[in-house]
Structure 1
Amino acid sequence: MAIFQITSENKVKKAKIKKFRNEKELQKLFERNLEEIFGIRFLASEFVTTHGGRIDTLGLDEDGSPVIIEYKEGEKDNVINQGLFYLDWLVDHKGDFELLVQKKLGPNVKVNWDSPRLILVAQSYNEYDIYAVNRISENIELKKYILYDNNVLFVENVVLPGKKSGTKKSRKTTIVYKEYTVEDHLSNKSEKIKDIFRELQERILKLDEKINEKALKHYIAYELDRNFCEIVIQANALKIYLDISKNDLVDPKNIAEDCTEVGHWATGDCVFKVTSLEEIDYAMSLIKQSYEGKL
């Protein structure tokens, strides 16, 4: 992707691509900015496994899922298989990971083992990398970066062919994941609540084709690289959590409440309820603010 710098004469100048000196420089930059780039809390670098391997980066995402990050600055052809090996190891050694979380983040932080993630970070991927990841596992993500002059870093998701949000593929790893669907959350709910949810779901997904819908155990999340909205489907209402500060939210009707000091499963900082189709327009005006904050 071409990036252009606007000069003082209102001209544009194409930014030149440059490279990191080595893979370690790439890794250190991402680790120091892990939460800003991916919404992942940093736990450890070069984590030594019981079989003598070294996991590049370990983290915990905003949904409480364990995350392994492996970097590929040059041609490291075994990074996918190596990452899968570490992912299997991690699930077999949950106690080691949970002790690390308690040490780094505190004893009250919960780990969600339903869907551990493997993120691969590289400047480019060949067709064999993309084919392999598309076939092997839903829980592997490819991230592409480009470093430009003036220290501009561009990071994007690599869209895998045939992969759709919310669908699961057969896997060749030994890990068994707990799967949840939107229909699980709608089960036994009234037709009124289902209609409200479907309308809101459609409106959210229309904001951007890159939005991913994730059905988790306690809520349904909507994300770009990071969550911007979570929905808890209750018997008589939709509870909407937004990943934006109450102080930054323009809310003329003042329906959103700060929930940072209140225990809740979702990742958002403020919450409000939707109880009718007539409330969706206003709800979307709040949701869009959280979405735009993640662009």
Structure 2
Amino acid sequence: MQDVRLFSTKNGVAEVAPRLAEAERHVQDLVEAHMETLLGVRFLASEYHTGPVHGGRIDTLGLDENGVPAVVEYKRGTDPGVINQGLYYLAWLRDHQEEFRNLVRVRLGASQAAQVTWSAPRLICVAGGFTRYDLHAVREHRRAIDLVRYRFYGDDLFGLETVASVAGRRLSRAGGKCAGQGRSGRQSGRMLELRAALDEVLLGLGEDVTRIERRTYRAYQRLRNFACVCPPRRTKLLVYLKVNPEQVDLVPGFTRDVRGLGHHGTGDLEVELRSERELERAQELLRLSYAAE
């Protein structure tokens, strides 16, 4: 974002200068009001008290679209303590799982509370800038951490840039267990090979891509999911993308509008893959979904 120059094309061309918020709270209020759109995280609580022992307040608590708990911390500018502060609250969160589940139950309902997954709770730091030491630290801590730089432009534009993203328990690019893999003896070897090829393509879209394993699907995300892959069926793979079906020429047996239809994972466009050739055919859709997130 620091290298991006933004221009208004009203009455000619004029550069719109980036700026920081006047106060940290302005960023927090904006993100909390639109958290699901901006971060893919459902809002649970603001300025959450961690009790007399820890004696602190978590800026924002949320639950991401994969059912993973999220701590969000904000800084107006560059603050060398933001990661350590966030990790402190992440440790509190791991020690207070039942308290967090109760909060989810109150805010989102019992079914969502039952699906909370604790494999790798997330820390999302939203700040005006980060140092090279911050970028190094997120890779050393081995926790699920996203560093997100913000900027305001003019009176009504707001930008977010993910400058570092690390999954707490990311599997190797070569593979690893996924939902449904225990049934591989009853699955086509060809479909398992196709899933591995798809995995390589999705992870190869950018260094900021992380992979999250859920019981019923595998999610690929930047800040938010951009692709969800269901366990292989006998003859096909189903992939769900964050692409507007109205912007795609739908082809029966290949792409389908699933808005309003129940399915595992997230995304409004279903892509059905049966071969490596169809994977090649789908790559533009995969890139489009990646770019949208």
Per the normalisation by structure 1, the TM-score is: 0.81
- Alignment match of 1:78 (pick from 62, 68, 81): 81
Q: Distance in 2 between matches of 1:7 and 1:257?
A: 35
CA spacing shift, 1:4–1:290, aligned 2, 3 Å: closer
Which deviates more, 219-228 or 240-249? 240-249
Q: Is the 8 A contact 1:244 1:290 kept in 2?
A: yes
> SS of the counterpart of 1:64?
coil
Name 2:227's counterpart in structure 1. Answer: 229
> SS of the counterpart of 1:108?
helix
Alignment pair present for 1:104 and 2:101: no
CA spacing shift, 1:48–1:180, aligned 2, 3 Å: farther
Q: CA RMSD in A?
A: 3.0
Q: Superposition pairs for residues 274-293 of structure 1, below 5 Å?
A: 274-284=273-283, 286-292=285-291
CA spacing shift, 1:101–1:180, aligned 2, 3 Å: farther
Q: Superposition pairs for residues 90-101 of structure 1, below 5 Å?
A: 90-101=93-104
Q: Distance in 1 between matches of 2:211 and 2:195?
A: 14
> SS of the counterpart of 2:155?
helix
Name 2:32's counterpart in structure 1. Answer: 31
Aligned residue identity for 2:232: Q
Q: Distance in 2 between matches of 1:114 and 1:181?
A: 20
The alpha-carbon deviation at position 228 of structure 1 amounts to: 1.8
The alpha-carbon deviation at position 190 of structure 1 amounts to: 4.3
Q: Superposition pairs for residues 68-217 of structure 1, below 5 Å?
A: 68-74=71-77, 76-109=79-112, 110-159=115-164, 167=170, 182-185=175-178, 188=184, 190-205=188-203, 208-210=205-207, 212-217=209-214
CA spacing shift, 1:137–1:211, aligned 2, 3 Å: closer
Percent identical residues: 32
The alpha-carbon deviation at position 180 of structure 1 amounts to: 11
Per the normalisation by structure 2, the TM-score is: 0.81
Name 1:267's counterpart in structure 2. Answer: 266
Aligned length: 279
Q: Distance in 2 between matches of 1:8 and 1:23?
A: 30
The alpha-carbon deviation at position 9 of structure 1 amounts to: 4.8
Deviations 1:103-146 (A, max 9, x none): 11122112111110011111112233333333223312211112
Aligned residue identity for 1:214: R
Q: Distance in 1 between matches of 2:239 and 2:77?
A: 43
Q: Is the 8 A contact 2:75 2:126 kept in 1?
A: yes
Structure 2: gaps of 5 or more residues: none
> SS of the counterpart of 2:73?
strand
